[in-house]
Amino acid sequence: MTSAPPSWRIQALAKRPDLIPALAEALWECWGAVFPEKTVAVRTAGLHARTNPDRLPTTVVATATDGALLGTASILFDDMETRPDLNPWLATVFVMPGQRGHGLGAALCAAAEAEAWRLGVPRLHLYTFDKRGYYAALGWRDLETVDYAGQPTAIMVKDRPV
Ligand SMILES: CC(C)(COP(=O)(O)OP(=O)(O)OC[C@H]1O[C@@H](n2cnc3c(N)ncnc32)[C@H](O)[C@@H]1OP(=O)(O)O)[C@@H](O)C(=O)NCCC(=O)NCCS
């Protein structure tokens, strides 16, 4: 017997603001050790500020057929406060631990990028500590390597498709 392929729905967080508490907790669990200043309360406020369906900053969420949270990605400003010259950013790309490896991360990136292109963004940036290869496979290219949060960090860019 073969198992059914995973299915999900990706939509703007503006359509599912009820997911914000679970999302803030999940992001804290994932990155709390690296960015302790981004508490659940700080992340909750940040997510509320991204419930914009037609302007940046914005967040997309993936849900299962039963409506449960599966993952997220955002387009936001000043993700790397040491580089205010680079904006906007693809950020907080996250898939719930039990849901990884089925293409959802790529689908979330594509959905967030599509929203940025739709809103007229010419170039997106991201930074990553350890997923450079992952993003390169998704069409991102290296811009610089910097020290950030005490770690060597790749800054990558992607241009709006012509
Ligand atoms: C990164 C993340 C979003 C990917 O989500 P996902 O749904 O598993 O992603 P996809 O299914 O689209 O891609 C998984 C593939 O990427 C590969 N991959 C994962 N990390 C990688 C890396 N650092 N370099 C290269 N490939 C990588 C996996 O091996 C897998 O390959 P396969 O499809 O050949 O098996 C998820 O692992 C996650 O939420 N991680 C914690 C948060 C995080 O690190 N976010 C990125 C911050 S920059």
Domain-embedded: residue 44: yes
Domain-embedded: residue 112: yes
pLDDT for res 52: 82
Q: Note down the domain range covering 56.
A: 9-159
- The answer, yes or no, to whether any atom of ligand 1 lies below 6 A from the CB of 104, is yes
For residue 2, what pLDDT band results from cuts at 50, 70 and 90? low
* Predicted confidence (pLDDT) at residue 1 exceeds the cutoff of 80: no
Atom of ligand 1 nearest to the CA of 138: 12
What is the arrangement of strands in the sheet containing 151-159, beginning at the earlier edge strand? 9-12, 58-63, 69-76, 89-95, 123-128, 151-159, 141-148
Domain-embedded: residue 1: no
Q: For the chain, how many structural domains are there in total?
A: 1
Q: Specify the residue with its C-alpha closest to ligand 1, atom 10.
A: 103
Domain-embedded: residue 51: yes
Domain-embedded: residue 4: no
pLDDT for 73-92, tens place per residue?
999 999 999 999 999 999 99
Domain-embedded: residue 60: yes
Q: Specify the residue with its C-alpha closest to ligand 1, atom 33.
A: 101
CATH number at residue 31: 3.40.630.30
- The answer, yes or no, to whether any atom of ligand 1 lies below 6 A from the CB of 133, is yes
DSSP E strands, the chain: 9-12, 58-63, 69-76, 89-95, 123-128, 141-148, 151-159
pLDDT for 104-119, tens place per residue?
999 999 999 999 999 9
Domain-embedded: residue 146: yes
For residue 93, what pLDDT band results from cuts at 50, 70 and 90? very high
100 alpha carbon – ligand 1 mean position (Å): 7
Domain-embedded: residue 3: no
Question: What is the Rg, in whole angstroms, of the alpha carbon atoms belonging to the chain?
Answer: 15
Q: Specify the residue with its C-alpha closest to ligand 1, atom 28.
A: 101
- Mean of the per-residue pLDDT values for the chain? 95
Least confident of 2-11, 13-22, 28-37, 43-52: 2-11
For residue 31, what pLDDT band results from cuts at 50, 70 and 90? very high
